[in-house]
Amino acid sequence: MQDNRLVCQKGGVDLPRIIIAGTHSGVGKTTLTLGVILALRKRGINVQAFKAGPDYIDPAYHTKGSGKICANLDSWLLSKDALRELFKRRAKEADITVIEGVMGLYDGLKDTELGSTGHLAKILDCPVILIVDGRSLSRSAAATALGYKEFDKEVDIAGIILNNIAGASHYSYIKAAIERRTKIPVLGYLPRDPGLKLPERHLGLIPIEEKRLDIVFYQKLLKLVRDNINLTRLLEIAMRARPFFYNKEKIFTPHLLPPRNLSLEGAGFKSSYPKNRVTIAVAKDEAFNFYYQDNLDILSHLGANIIAFSPLRDRELPNGIDGLYIGGGFPELFASALSKNKSLKRSIYQGAEEGLPIYAECGGLMYLVKYLIDFKKRKFPMVGIFDASVKMADRLRALGYVNIEVCKDNILSKKGVNIKAHVFHWSYLDRFSRKENFAYRVNKDKGKIFFDGLTRWNTLASYSHLHFGSNPGSAKKFIGVCNGYKKIALR
């Protein structure tokens, strides 16, 4: 786009950027964001995508669309300094940054702005493009837009895109009303088209690892965006974003930065401190694919060689590993195949028994217990490190941010440490032994306390999802435990 996009201005850096927000969940943020990314790339523009909030599925779509890893930005899980550092680290390599918001523009933790798209926009000093659903509306859409503009005047709503529009006439009525009453430019629209809806199920969109969108969908979405949205005006809004100011790196300190374009699949990183270099296997396939990319990058930055393996297809753990990381996903939908892979389950159990450090989150916990009971009440044997069963419920069992008080030393943290986390699951522990030890005392809402974090040997498995950018000490401790295991294994 421009050769001088990183011009320093009184300590700031030029980082063209926009946030695509919505009036509410389901307004079409992911589809429209993906369409804008595709259209900008078609123009030869290097796009970096981000997703606001604790989401694993939407970023995979934007990674596919942009050709660059889409990371998360969460203003509740992460401090302002951490947010700005993680944003700048990726944004500086692109011509423009496009961020998809979360929920409605002002929806945060309870009745606060914390974790909201609006809060993120203020932290990053980022113009907002607001999506308004025009279905069954005409002039009333202006009232909606005006309310969002006036609600928090520190949020710069710089443009509006309409969704679910019946046709050109419908669009012209709404556009005129909004621009007359709000003075915010309407940049275009997407028509009402059921074929543009991305596939969903109980945890949201179906991960792209399972259901890859066909070329027809991409071509259709690309054409609609190019035909109906003023991309030149959108780019002008992104370009006028004020210079971005940031503090010195605290997470990715310069002397330890990994090579660029580090990817999960088979990527290796030679640490500046070879004695601390360890190899960590990460479960990555259709059943397990919920990871914050920054978590993997932070581990790599600290000296880990990250290699991928598949619990669905690989018969044994990779040779020579010093740690294992099993993230979230949908093991309940692949329970039969996971159960039948007895040799890998045996390999994981034996590794755990020998002290291999294993960290598992949500879906990973479900895989490490004795039995998984799916939606149809079918019972499947899993790895069996923990004498417990996990059962799928007929409704969502937990959703939202939580505060963790560590009540027992474990492979990620010492007793007494406080950690911010996120939970989102339909399953629950059922018929587990009282002998199982919990590492976490979790406070979700005032008065709602529960325990999480099963521990045994050097294994920690919890429903809570952590972001290492919030607490880099957890990543450092995990690397340290892996290094300790490596030294014992080498004797």
| Residue carrying the six token digits 């039948």 | 340
H runs (alpha helix) in 99-139: 117-123
| Residue carrying the six token digits 């109980």 | 202
Query: Does residue 8 carry a catalytic annotation?
Result: no
CA distances from 227 to 105, 132, 221, 231 (A): 26, 19, 10, 10
Cα(441)–Cα(450) distance, rounded to whole angstroms? 6
β-partners of residue 47 are 96
| Cβ-based neighbours of 263, under 8 Å, separated by 6 or more | 69
Strands 200-201 and 204-205: antiparallel
What three-state secondary structure class fits 192?
coil
Burial 451-490 (b: 16+ CB within 10 A, else e): ebbbbbebbbbbbbbbbbbbbbebbbbbbebbbbbbeeee
Question: Which of these is catalytic: 70, 126, 362, 482?
Answer: 362
Which amino acid, 224?
L
| Cβ-based neighbours of 62, under 8 Å, separated by 6 or more | 33, 34, 37, 49, 51, 70, 98, 100
Which residue numbers are catalytic?
362
